[in-house]
Amino acid sequence: MVTGMHHISMKCGTKEEFDKAKDFYLNMLGFSVKREWPEGIMIDCGSVLLEIFCNGEGIKTKGAIRHAAYATDDVDGIIARVRSAGYKVFIEPNDIVIPSVPECRARMAFCIGPLGEEIEFFQEKD
């Protein structure tokens, strides 16, 4: 029986990419190290782990998974930090309403992460 999601995995090809990714997720976003080994790291993102390997070429194409969305209580603040660190913001912070039942009101924005990944910051509103 599946009980939930354990981790999302990414791969980078160089030590520089690996160090940049670690810095982004640990220092920029404030996540913490769950475990680390010579070729990789698992970063605790709250409800799921992010696994980053540095043992081969990372494939930089979009597949079926479009982006990772991280919950936040301050979309505008995290986007300001990301932008000031030189990362590309490709959807500015904006308010949305998902016409679901019940409807979901949220504030969201997107950036490109250190390995070329699309990242959404999502803040549900009551």
- Taking the C-alpha atoms of residue 55 and residue 38, their distance in angstroms, rounded to an integer, is 9
Which tens digit of pLDDT belongs to each residue from 30-41? 999 999 998 899
Would you state the pLDDT for residue 62? 65
Which pTM value belongs to this model?
Answer: 0.87
DSSP string, the chain: ---S--EEEEE-SSHHHHHHHHHIIIIIS--EEEEEETTEEEEE-SSSEEEEE-SSPPP-S--S---EEEE-S-HHHHHHHHHHTTPPEEEEEEEEEE--SS-EEEEEEEEE-TTS-EEEEEEEE-
Which tens digit of pLDDT belongs to each residue from 51-110? 998 877 666 666 667 789 999 999 999 999 999 999 999 999 999 999 999 999 999 999
Q: Is residue 13 scored above 70 in pLDDT?
A: yes
The mean per-residue pLDDT over the stretch 14-20 comes to 91
